[in-house]
Amino acid sequence: MGKQQGMKTSPELARLRTVVELSTIGIWEWNVRTDALHWSPDQMSLVGLPEEEFRPHVSTFKDRLHPDDAERIWAALRAHLEQGEPYDVMMRLRHDDGHYIELRGKGVAERDESGSPVRMTGVTYDISDLRDTRRRRWQWDVFRL
């Protein structure tokens, strides 16, 4: 039995799967050489995208990224891939119904033997409620003064 097969049945992996299912964390994988993209069902759900409409290409992400965030997000991706800077960003993606949701995204590149990036794997989670709560609290504090 190979290492990968052993991981599939490990108690740690089972707990990780449970945590991911309970937390609605979107998981993604991007092949940086081919631009092939994989989104977990939870990732699609975050943006209201029906699974049958998902296009497994990085353009799916590009098309949903808020125009005001695009330059900053692609710069962060380049910095991670080229210099190894951490990829930990706040962004807005367009939901299928047209509004934008605020997300935090984190990822890490996997590299080949020469150190060149092959793919990135990461997570996103919705921080819209947290941002809304902070805005309401700020407004309350301002008007209370």
Q: DSSP E strands: which ranges in the chain?
A: 26-31, 37-39, 87-94, 100-111, 117-126
Question: Which domain does 103 fall in, by range?
Answer: 3-144
* Number of domain units in the chain: 1
Tell me, what's the pLDDT at 7? 47
- The pLDDT profile of the chain, 145 residues, written as one tens digit per residue, is 444 444 456 888 788 777 767 777 899 999 999 999 999 999 999 999 999 999 999 999 999 999 999 999 999 999 999 999 999 999 999 999 999 999 999 999 999 999 999 999 999 999 987 655 555 555 555 565 5
Tell me, what's the pLDDT at 24? 73
CA distance 107 to 69: 17
Number of other residues whose CB lies within 10 A of the CB of residue 81 = 16
Tell me, what's the pLDDT at 15? 81
Tell me, what's the pLDDT at 16? 73
Tell me, what's the pLDDT at 145? 58
| 3-state class (DSSP) for residue 42 | helix
CATH code of residue 97 = 3.30.450.20
Tell me the pTM.
Answer: 0.78
